[in-house]
Amino acid sequence: MSPDPARPASTRPRPVRLDLAPLDPADRSAVDEVFELRTLVHRADTPHLPAPCRADFAGSLTVPPPATRVEEWAGRDAAGRCAASVRLEFPREENTGSVTAAVLAVHPALRGQGAGRRLVEFVRERAAAAQRSRILFTADSGPSGQAGDGAAAPAHHLAATVGARPAWTLDHLRLDIADAPLPQPLPEPMSVRYWGSEVPEELVEQAARLEAALSATASTGDPGWEPQPAAISRIRDFERMRIARGRRAHQCAILDDTTGRMAAWTALSMTRANPGDALQAITIVDPAHRGRGLGRQVKAYNLARARAAETRLAHVDTWNASGNAHMLRVNAGFGFAPAGVRWAWELSTAR
């Protein structure tokens, strides 16, 4: 961005200096500083979303998502204060030409001084060093879904400044659990099975089979993104990550008692810091059982069970690709209402 010629040079803010270094998970003081920074950024940009969870953040530094290498960096200004946070996620098995900048956070008081551009150049350097050609970064906007709301305002400005292009959007939906449908009797011969954070051993192969079906057909909103291969190891690795981050899950399946096969599966996930909020995670219906309303039913059963266990639960959040009209319609019928937009931009490592 060019300097404002009408503004005296002496009154223009100097570009902020940022020294970036890896964040050591064993350095509790540094971890606390970065968490406090992310909390400040959350309050400034996305107060409509559940607050950051300290246990969730600490666990994310030690156990990565499945088949992903993670880098965490902290940026300090000239006075040595924590001023920026960067989290980079490098897929190791699919989408190996990409890196996701899952966090690009600048202290609200230091914005407009070139810190965002400095972070983007740093991400480009890290991506190029790993031979990745594509960088993705995201930001959430508030309930009205306008580009000028919340985190999307500085992110849109940064995207335009560095030449990033829009990649996809996700619609953020929120359910007031008082609006959710109650579970109804299942068709014969079907039954319900519940569990917590880990899929029972006798069902994990069925869960991997359904995850494979979802990966092959679900819309992510990004036409260039390769679906992840589904495997039992991926499910177990994801469970280890969730447990390490202090999260707990409520899961439910509908079983076809004639064949013993899993017809539908869904999961809710919660953090320690947000007992009133849950994330609607995976919901899958076996292609052989689609068109029978089992997706709605399995979510209704699971939510009813979670409400009984989580007495302060009030809301459930989920995100769907903006172009996935079917899932948006299904979730609207369940009681989910629009609550915002998640924007994504794509940037080449080439300048």
pLDDT digit of tens for each residue in the chain (351 aa)?
Answer: 334 444 454 444 567 889 999 999 999 999 999 999 999 999 999 999 999 999 999 999 999 999 999 999 999 999 999 999 999 999 999 999 999 999 999 999 999 999 999 999 999 999 999 999 999 999 999 887 555 566 778 899 999 999 999 999 999 999 999 999 999 999 989 999 999 999 999 999 999 999 988 876 666 677 678 877 779 999 999 999 999 999 999 999 999 999 999 999 999 999 999 999 999 999 999 999 999 999 999 999 999 999 999 999 999 999 999 999 988 999 999 999 999 999 999 999 986
Stated as kind and residue range, the H or E segment containing 299 is: helix 294-309
pLDDT given at position 2: 38
pLDDT given at position 15: 76
pLDDT given at position 4: 46
| Rounded Cα gap, residues 296 and 81, in angstroms | 49
Tokens of 79: 């006075």
Pairing, β 315-321 against β 277-285: parallel
* Stated pTM of the model: 0.91
Cis peptide before 189 (omega within 30 of 0): yes
Tokens of 334: 């369940």
Let me know: does 168 contact 221? Beta carbons within 8 Å. yes
Other CB atoms within a 10 A radius of the CB of residue 96 amount to 14
Q: What is the DSSP letter of 349?
A: S
Q: To 10 degrees, what angle do helices 204-217 and 232-244 make?
A: 100
| Rounded Cα gap, residues 137 and 166, in angstroms | 10
pLDDT given at position 61: 98
Q: To 10 degrees, what angle do helices 294-309 and 325-334 make?
A: 50
pLDDT given at position 3: 41
